[in-house]
Amino acid sequence: MSNLAELKSALHQQVANMEDEKVLQKVQQYFKSLVENDKEVIAYNSKGKALTTKEYKASIEESMAEYRKGKWISQKEMEENF
């Protein structure tokens, strides 16, 4: 798939051509679970703020970017400072 419109069209075509109700129900449940998981609280940050799956993943990506830039301290340095 080269773009979003093509992907949507292909998915629409597959759903439109599907005759098995059980398969369609499973697809619907799966899609619903994906959408709801983006709103479900799965973790809390160090300040107690609730994080959704999307926010949690973004936080991890941000932390990894800081690590790659060399913005980190060792466990020993952490213990000495706190």
CA distance 6 to 12: 10
The pLDDT value given to residue 37: 67
pLDDT band at 79 (very low <50, low <70, confident <90, very high): very high
Question: In the predicted model, what is the mean pLDDT of the chain?
Answer: 89
What tokens appear for 28 in the block? Answer: 């619907």
On whether the CB atoms of residues 22 and 28 are closer than 8 A, the answer is: no
Residues 28-66 pLDDT 10s: 988 887 777 667 888 888 898 888 888 999 999 999 999
3-state SS class at 52: strand
